[in-house]
Amino acid sequence: MVQNKRAGVNPRERRENCGNWTWIQGAEGGNARFGPLFCESWNCPACRQVKLSKLVEKLNGAEIVQYHEIELPHRWGDVKLQMDRVLKRWRRVHGRLEYFIAIRTRRHSTTLGLFLSSGTLPERAVVEAFALDGLRAESTSETLYRPEGRRDKLTALLDTWSDSTQFIHRVRHSRQFFAARTASPPPADKAPMIVSRCPLSYWLRMFDRAGCAVTQLGPDSYVAEGGSRLIAALSPPGDRSAESAQPSMSSR
């Protein structure tokens, strides 16, 4: 049973976090504070929308955005083996690139959505880079400058990749592309913190089974009485401390 300590808190209201991950830390009196985090997965509808919004902001801030849609009549496994070499060829010939690639896979074909926010690539270079590894490719490109309405155009393009019938299966991007993680930070506190890959519901259930009274302090914050002694025992393998927990923006 979860009690609401703060008046007006509705436990069923929509949270800013998806709740698929959880932050946990010790509190005064042997209690444990915890709350939901974004899992940052493209498979999560809530996180996907956050990531797409950040992607639109990133692209819209560039002077020029180039978009390539690349069709390859090859399975993703064959394309994946050559992707690193293709990206190195693009960088070697055309310099530093900031890129984001959405990848849609079918049984016998792969479609890539290549967004460039720094540097440009001619269609010929895109196709030839794959051809050197024996992969056939067809590319159509579009260059978006900075007029009014470019944000809407970018949003429309990305919507074609996030639609349920055209799902973003895998994502690749350069290290420079995203500067910040999407997960909402837990409260600033010096207490050690664990980032758990288990959902909030798991911890609510475990604390309840252990007889810890759980109080909801806010929409995204809970406290379990006497819960600090159970954190180590209940943390599944794979959970990480905050110092080492840096969730990637890449897909999982």
Query: Does the pLDDT at position 3 exceed 60?
Result: no
Q: What is the pLDDT of residue 73?
A: 95
Average pLDDT of the residues in 4-12: 40
Contact predicate 47/40, CB 8 Å: yes
- Which ranges of the chain would DSSP assign to H, the alpha helix? 45-60, 76-94, 123-131, 150-162, 200-209, 228-234
| Interaxial angle between packed helices 123-131 and 76-94, expressed in degrees from 0 to 180 and rounded to the nearest 10 | 130
Q: How many CB atoms lie within 10 A of CB 110?
A: 23
Dist. CA 140–CA 202, nearest whole Å: 46
Task: Please state, for a pLDDT cut of 90, what percent of the chain lies above it.
Answer: 16
pLDDT tens per residue, range 133-191? 899 999 999 988 887 788 898 988 888 887 644 555 567 777 767 654 444 445 555 66
pLDDT tens per residue, range 98-119? 888 988 888 899 999 999 988 7
Average pLDDT of the residues in 13-18: 53
Q: Which helix (H) or strand (E) holds 215?
A: strand 214-218
Average pLDDT of the residues in 201-218: 89
Average pLDDT of the residues in 226-233: 77
All structural domains of the chain: 2-40+182-241 (no CATH), 45-173 (3.30.70.1910)
The structure tokens listed for 139 are 């590319």
- Is the pTM of the predicted complex or chain greater than 0.85? no
Average pLDDT of the residues in 199-222: 88
Mean pLDDT across the chain: 77
